[in-house]
Amino acid sequence: MIFFDNQNFQFPQDLDLENKLFLPTSKLYAQLNAQLQALYQDIRTALIDSHALLASSAKQLYEQPGPTLAAWYDQAAGRAAELHAQINEELLPKAQASYQQLVVDVADAGRETRLYLQNFMENPEAAAAAAIQPVTAYLAAATEAAEAALVSGYYALGGLLGQLMKQPAETLEASIHYLLSELLELYFRAVSSLLIQI
């Protein structure tokens, strides 16, 4: 619906700046600020923990180099064995299953293409018409919708021009007020959606 086709166009409501602009914006700012503070604290804690672990490991290596290196080697070998087992037991079977499904899909697509081409060679007019039919239907529906929107817009614009001729100042003021109120509502919905998501 075009804005000046709306029944409330001539009767503007007060702009609720407090509830639609100021409060949602301040809530969004406070929530983003709290999340940034939490993120900063998490990063700071992780860096401190990493530094403490690195310092402890370096001290241990300095004090007992032989046993520490042997322990690290055992840990690396154990992790490598786990990764090797995971690759062989989980990832390779999944990759093989995906490959087999891909082979089946390619074979099916080849078979369908062959059938389509055979059908096209036997009856090109019907095959071309069947291929073009969804596009034609979409274009027809889009054309009808565009025509309806143009007719509606034409009549609404005619109404607005009539209003402008009768009451130019009031119509312009109502137009501006209505557009501001719609923009305010759009902003309110966008901020409310952001507040729900974060």
Both tokens of residue 11?
């009767």
29-61 b/e with 16+ CB inside 10 Å = b? eeeeeeeeeeeeeeeeeeeeeeeeeeeeeeeee
Q: How far apart are CA 20 and CA 30, in angstroms?
A: 16
Please count the residues of the chain.
Answer: 198
Mean pLDDT of the chain: 87
- Percent of the chain past pLDDT 70, that is, above it, reads 93
What is the pLDDT, as a whole number, of residue 31? 93
Indicate the pTM of the whole model: 0.48
Q: How far apart are CA 163 and CA 174, in angstroms?
A: 11
pLDDT, one tens digit per residue, over 73-97 is 999 999 999 999 999 999 999 999 9
Given a contact cutoff of 8 angstroms between Cβ atoms, the answer to whether 127 and 116 are in contact is: yes
Q: Is the Cα torsion angle 145, 151, 154, 155 positive or negative in sign?
A: negative
pLDDT, one tens digit per residue, over 110-165 is 999 898 888 888 888 887 788 788 888 888 899 999 988 888 888 877 877 887 78
Task: Calculate mean pLDDT across residues 20-40.
Answer: 93
Given a contact cutoff of 8 angstroms between Cβ atoms, the answer to whether 86 and 95 are in contact is: no
Q: How far apart are CA 103 and CA 53, in angstroms?
A: 49
